Amino acid sequence: MADSLLSQLKKMTTVVADTGDLDAIRRFSPQDATTNPSLILQAAQQERRRARMAEIARESVDIDNAVDSVAVEVGSEISALVPGYVSTEVSARLSFDRDATVNRALSLIERYARQGVEADRILIKVAATWEGIQAARLLEREGIRTNLTLLFSFTQAQACADAGATLVSPFVGRILDWHKHRNPDADFSDSRDPGVQSVKRIFDHYKGHGYKTIVMGASFRNLGEITALAGCDRLTISPALLDELENRQGTLERQLIPTDADTPHSEPLDQASFRWQMNEDEMASDKLSDGIRKFMADQRKLEALLADLRQQ
C-alpha cells in the first residue's frame, strides 16, 4: 500500500497538532502541539476534567490566575506526549501591552517549571501586534522562545524576524476567508489560495535572507492548502485534517524549497512604518483585530466557566 499523505508530509515538514485533545495527539504522534484560548476552552469543558478545573478555580487567587493555571495544566499534559514544543498563549487582553505581555509570559514559564516542564519546551504565543512583537524581542533576549500568532501580512512577518522570534504562525485559512467573502466566485484553489501565497512569500524571504525564524503555516481550511505548502518548516493541523491526510494516498511533492541565504537582512521596520503598512493592508488589519476579538471571546467563556466552578 502506498504511503499516506501524512507520512509523506512528515518526511519534509514538521507536523504539529493544532489541538488540546490528548487522544488526538496520541493518535497522530506530532512533533509539537499548539494551543490557543479556543482549544483550551474545549479541553476545559471535557467532563473528565471538570473536577480538576473546579479545584484549580478554587485554589487560584483570581480568574486570570485560574485561566493561566488551566492553560499550563493542559500544556504540561501535552508536553508528556510530544517531544518538541508546546505553544501556550498569553491572554489576548494584553495584545497591546508590551510590558504586561512580558510579565505574563514569565509567569507562564514559572508555572511550567513548577510542573517540571523546562522553558526550552515552551513557545509563548503572542499576537503579532507591534506591542506583541516587541514583547517577543525582549523575551527572546531572555532565552524564552516565542510563537507570533495571528499573522496575516508580510509586514508582520518582517517585524517578527527583526525581533528574533523563534517561530511565526501565518494564518492561511483566515486569509482565504477574507478574500472569498469579497470575491465569492474567484478560483482560490491550491497555489491560487492567497493564504498559501502569503506563506510562500514569507518562507522564501526568510530563507533567502538567512533569518532563523521558523515558518509554521496555520489555520487550514482544506487539504489543498496543506499539500500546496509541503516543505514548509512546520504546519500546525487540526485533528480532522490530520485524519484526512492519514487516510489519503497518492504522491505528495515538495512545494517549498529553501533558497540559499545570499541576501543581507532587510532594513528593520520602525513602529511608524509598521503601523502605516498595516493600515494600508485592509485584510491584515481586519483579520488581526478579528482574531484578537475571537480569542478573547473564548477566553471570556473560559473565565465564566471557571468562575462558576469556583462557586460550587
The model carries a pTM of 0.94
Please state, in angstroms and rounded to a whole number, the distance separating the CA atoms of residues 119 and 135: 17
For residues 35 and 253, is the Cβ–Cβ distance under 8 A? no
What is the pLDDT averaged over residues 209-233? 96
* pLDDT score of 265: 80
Q: What residues contact residue 50 under an 8 Å CB cut-off, 6+ apart?
A: 309
What is the pLDDT, as a whole number, of residue 185? 95
If you average pLDDT over residues 109-113, what whole number do you get?
97
Active-site residue, 125 included = yes
Write the CA distances from 94 to 28, 55, 74, 187, 264, integer angstroms.
Answer: 33, 26, 21, 37, 34
Parallel/antiparallel/unpaired status of strands 32-34 and 234-237: unpaired
* pLDDT at 247 > cutoff 80: yes
The answer on pLDDT for 266 being more than 80 is no
105-119, 143-157, 260-274, 287-301: range with lowest mean pLDDT: 260-274
DSSP-derived secondary structure letter, 97: -
> What is the residue range of 226's domain?
5-311
Could you tell me the CA-to-CA distances from 67 to 13, 41, 87 in Å, in that order?
32, 10, 15
pLDDT of residue 249: 94
Which neighbouring-strand residues pair with 18? Answer: 34
Tell me, what's the pLDDT at 71? 93
Percentage, residues of the chain above pLDDT 90? 85
Does 170 score more than 90 pLDDT? yes
Q: Which CATH number do you get for residue 279?
A: 3.20.20.70
**Residues 11, 125, 180, 212: which is the catalytic one?**
125
State mean pLDDT over 30-42.
89
Give residues with Cβ within 8 angstroms of 128, minimum separation 6: 148, 149, 150, 151, 156, 159, 160, 168, 288
Higher per-residue pLDDT: 118 or 42:
118
> In this predicted structure, what is the pLDDT of residue 82?
96
**Mean pLDDT for the stretch of residues 48-73:** 90
127 pLDDT tier (thresholds 50, 70, 90): very high
Which of 224, 230, 150 lies closest to 194 in space, CA to CA? 224
Which phi and psi angles does 169 have, rounded to 5°? -120, 85
Using one digit for the tens of pLDDT, what is the confidence trace for 297-311?
A: 999 999 999 999 888
pLDDT of residue 1: 59
User: Cβ neighbours of residue 265 under 8 Å, at least 6 residues apart?
Assistant: 161, 162, 209, 210, 211
Domain count, the chain: 1
Tell me: the pLDDT tens digits for 67-78?
999 999 999 999
Mean pLDDT of the chain: 94
